Amino acid sequence: MSSQAQNRRLTAPDIAARKGEAGGEPIVALTAYTAPMARLVDGVADVILVGDSVGMVVHGFDSTLPVTLDMMILHAQAVMRGSQRALVVIDLPFATYEAGPLQAFEAAARIMKETGCGAVKLEGGAHMAETVRFLTQRGIPVMGHTGLTPQSIAALGSFRAQGRERSQWPQMIADAQAIAQAGAFSVVVEAVAEPLAVEITKAVEVPVIGIGASAQCDGQILVLDDMLGLTPRTPKFVKRYAEIGADAERALAEYAREVRERSFPAPQQTYPERKR
């Protein structure tokens, strides 16, 4: 059955089952952080990620590091209220899971209990496999995230693409495989050389969802505000499908002009006196 025809909410096992499905469609994933945007995205996407990119996109931080669990839960609750069909996945924010499996379980369990979402996502390769295994064995579906991992920005130095040298590929393939073998139901691979993304997709037994990766991945994800043209600068891998920011600028300028020249509100937007 096409995922669009399904009228219950998709689950992590539904998404995992899409790996290598004969004639299967790629998985469509997007971020959302608010109920109205979740409503729009739910009409087309299989997966809605409440990404910690919310820190940069909505809250104006320079990185995702300041994002807290409370912020993620608040946005996740809004996205759950705005959606009915897509699997909603919530990012574990920086410093809520890296210390070890128990810390990760406490953060992930709080997210699951307080939001009703279907899965959590965490960043990292083989060194996070033990944590992924701990969570998945305790009933928490986990999406992995390898390649460029924005929560490591302080160590990486910049948001540049990873795996541009072939010598780096074996470790990067092993990282994605380790997360899948530990029980993750899918793995996001961000900003890597295109042929490496193809190799990771072939090597990993669960769906690989690309962002700045390859059209050959099992699915694609983009940050919603980037692809709608709401962010001032977008990475090379983003295609802007709309220019809503520019449209908003035009609308705001027109409103300001009409207010200043007293042509707004016009009679259509005012209430006449009721005559008896």
Rounded to the nearest whole angstrom, what is the least distance from the CB of residue 64 to ligand KIV in the complex? 6
Residues that bind ligand KIV (CB under 6 A): 31, 49, 51-53, 91, 145, 188, 190, 211, 221, 223
Give the chain's length.
276
Q: Which is nearer to ligand KIV, 147 or 183 (CB)?
A: 147
Rounded to the nearest whole angstrom, what is the least distance from the CB of residue 196 to ligand KIV in the complex? 17
Residue 23, classed as helix, strand or coil, is: coil
Rounded to the nearest whole angstrom, what is the least distance from the CB of residue 52 to ligand KIV in the complex? 5
Distance CA(247)–CA(171), nearest Å, equals 44
Q: Which is nearer to ligand KIV, 51 or 163 (CB)?
A: 51
Q: Which is nearer to ligand KIV, 75 or 133 (CB)?
A: 75
Distance CA(201)–CA(189), nearest Å, equals 9
Backbone angles phi, psi at 250, to 5 degrees: -60, -45
Rounded to the nearest whole angstrom, what is the least distance from the CB of residue 234 to ligand KIV in the complex? 12
Q: Which is nearer to ligand KIV, 91 or 199 (CB)?
A: 91
Chain residue whose CB lies nearest ligand KIV: 51
Task: Please say if 261 is a catalytic residue.
Answer: no
Residue 208, classed as helix, strand or coil, is: strand
Distance CA(57)–CA(64), nearest Å, equals 9
List the catalytic residue out of 106, 190, 258, 261.
190
Q: Let me know: does 106 contact 132? Beta carbons within 8 Å.
A: no
Q: How many CB atoms lie within 10 A of CB 232?
A: 6
Active site residues: 190
